[in-house]
Amino acid sequence: MNIIIAGASGFIGQHLLKHYLDKDSEVCAIVPDPETLDSYEEKYSKLTVVKSNFEDFYKLSEFIAAKNVNIFYYLAWGGYGKDTNDYTVQIKNIKPLCDAVSEAAKIGCKRFVYSTSFSEYMISEYETKTHDMGAYCNVYGSAKKAARIFAQAVAAQRGIQFISVAFANTFGPGDYSKRSTNLFIHRLISGQSLDLTEGVHLYDWNYIEDTLNGLVLAGEKGQSDAVYYIGNNERRPLKQIVSDVRDFIAPGVNINLGTYKEDFHVDYSCVDVHRLYRETGYLARWNFRDAVLKTAEWVKGMAWS
């Protein structure tokens, strides 16, 4: 196959990159920091790395030699952490995505896969309405949704099949971030108690190998204009998930529920969590305990100073 991946240096992006390279596909990786993929370039002859920042996405076709591309995976985004609710930062992601779709058409791309977020379906803790009835979302989730709608319209104009994927909390080896999944595991390994919200809302932790499988199935078999949720077999209250993680790696460590107040939660009543399975055969297969233990080994080797 002939594949393009924007955001190939990220956690999920690197797993996707390796998947296609191991299958002997021609892969073009678009990243702002090419040095992060030096080890892949040394190992794989069919990898081309293109350096590009968001402001240059309007001329991607000038940098990319590949033609008749099977799938363009778009995993890029800017603005996490303290910028999550800064609209001036989040809104800057819309034009580069639309530029990428437009440029993909110029090189004969057949399918475009956009990574949105389950944050699209987050609603305020104080809302009485559902997501579908107009409950408001946080800025990051709203920007993801707005970008998706813009890009889908551009794709329709350019004649490209457009597929969206929304990842659950993906965890596992290769994630260098200090996100909650890694942070909770790190604290438990260190014997530190966890201060949480009341943990009554549904959450979903999905192991990286299952997320990767779902992403590839969506890209290769998904229906145009679909939004696919990629997650585990069931959603559970956060307190149950974290309690299981604790019991697997640090039995006896305290979990202090209700220390923090939760401002937003995912309204799963408005998410079709089974569509990917129905239309592609996706199924999360990793045992949760095994996935947590493998991730714990990874987290032990991370720098936490």
Q: In this structure, is residue 46 part of a structural domain?
A: yes
Q: In this structure, is residue 228 part of a structural domain?
A: no
Do 110 and 78 belong to one domain? yes
Do 137 and 10 belong to one domain? yes
| pLDDT above 90 as % of the chain | 89
Mean pLDDT, range 156-175, rounded to an integer: 97
Do 142 and 54 belong to one domain? yes
Q: Band of the pLDDT at 261, cuts 50, 70, 90?
A: very high
Distance CA 115, CA 5 (A): 11
Give the pTM: 0.96
DSSP state of 223: P
Do 125 and 197 belong to one domain? no
pLDDT at 66 over 80: no
**Domain interval for residue 103:** 2-167
Two tokens at 147? 């970008």
Q: Give residue for tokens 């996100």.
A: 179
Q: In this structure, is residue 260 part of a structural domain?
A: yes
Do 150 and 51 belong to one domain? yes
Mean pLDDT, range 275-282, rounded to an integer: 97
Q: In this structure, is residue 58 part of a structural domain?
A: yes
Q: Band of the pLDDT at 44, cuts 50, 70, 90?
A: very high
Distance CA 174, CA 168 (A): 16
Q: How many domains does the chain have?
A: 2
Collect contacts of 271-278 with beta carbons under 8 A, ≥24 apart.
271/118, 271/121, 271/166, 271/229, 272/227, 272/229, 273/229, 273/231, 273/235, 275/226, 275/227, 275/228, 275/229, 276/214, 276/217, 276/218, 276/222, 276/228, 276/229, 276/230
Q: In this structure, is residue 216 part of a structural domain?
A: no
Closest CA to 172 of 288, 282, 294, 289: 294
Q: In this structure, is residue 226 part of a structural domain?
A: no
- CATH code of the domain in which 60 resides: 3.40.50.720
